[in-house]
Structure 1
Amino acid sequence: MQRILLAEDDNIMRPYLQQALERGGYEVVAVDKGTEAVPLLENEFFDLLLSDIVMPEMDGIELAQYCSEVSPRTKVMFITGFAAVSLRASREAPHANILSKPFHLKDLTSQVGKILHEAALMRV
C-alpha cells in the first residue's frame, strides 16, 4: 500500500483530506505542522508528501526542501489557497505538483494517483 504523509494545519480540512485519501486506497499519516513531519520523514518511508504551503513553524516549502534531502525518493505535492504562494513554490520546489484550493476531492485523488503511478513506473 502506498503511503502518504499529509501536513495540513487546518483542523477541519486535515481529517477530510485524510479520509478521502484513505478511501482512495492509501495509507495516510496526518500531522498539523511541518515540524511534526520531520521525524517521520527521517524514520519512515512515504511515497508522497502532501503538504499545505502556509503553516506555522515550518512552511510546506521548507518541509519539501528538507524532504528532498532526507528522502529523495518521496514525491511532493502542495495544496494551497494562495496564488502568490503557488508561484513561490514553483520556483523553490520545481519538481512539486501544486493543487490550488478550493478543489474537489476527485481532483485531489486523481492528481495523487497520477503522481504515484508515474513514480511507480520510474522505479520499475
Structure 2
Amino acid sequence: MIRILLAEDDQAMRTYLARALQNAGYDVVSVDRGTEALVLLESEVFDLLLSDIVMPEMDGIELAQRCNEVSPQTKVMFITGFAAVTLRASREAPQARVLSKPFHLRDLVLEVQRVFGLAEHARI
C-alpha cells in the first residue's frame, strides 16, 4: 500500500485531505508542521510527501529539500493557495508537482495517481 505523509497546518484541511486519500486506498500519516514531518521522514518510509507550502517553523519547500536529503526515494507534491508561492516551488523543487487551492478532492486523488503512474480511477 502506498504511504503518504501529509503536512498541512490547517486542521480542517488536514482532516479533509487525509480522509479523502484514505478513502481512495492510501495509508496516510498526517502532521501539522514541517518539523514534525521531517522527524517522520528520518525514521519511517513514505512513498509520497504531500505538503502545504506555507507552514510555520519550516515551509514546504524547505521540507521538500530536506526530504530529498534524508529520503530521496520519497516523491514530493505540494498544495498551496498562493500563486507566487507556486512559482517559487516550481523553481526550487522542479521535480515536485504543485496543486493549487481550491481543488476538488477527485483532482487530488488523480494527481497522486499520476505521481505513481496509476491508471485506475479515483475512488471518492
Task: Say if 2:70 is the partner of 1:90.
Answer: no
1:10 aligns with 2:25: no
Distance, in Å, in 1 between the alignment partners of 2:116 and 2:3 is 10
Q: How does 1:25-44 map to 2 (within 5 A)?
A: 25-44=25-44
Q: For structure 1, list consecutive stretches of 5 or more residues without a partner in the other structure.
A: 119-124
* Counterpart in the other structure of 1:122: none
Q: Which residue is equivalent to 1:70?
A: 70
Deviations along 1:82-122, one digit per CA (max 9) or x if unpaired, are 0000000000001000000000000000000110237xxxx
TM-score, scaled to structure 2: 0.94
Which of the two has greater helix per residue? Answer: 1
Extract unaligned runs of 5+ from structure 2: 119-124
Aligned partners of 1:75, 1:96: CA distance in 2, in Å? 7
Deviations 1:40-71, CA, capped at 9 Å, x for gaps: 00011100000000000000000000000010
> What residue is the counterpart of 2:122 in the other structure?
none
Identity percentage of aligned residues = 72
Aligned to 1:107: 107
> How many Å apart are 1:35 and its aligned residue?
0.5
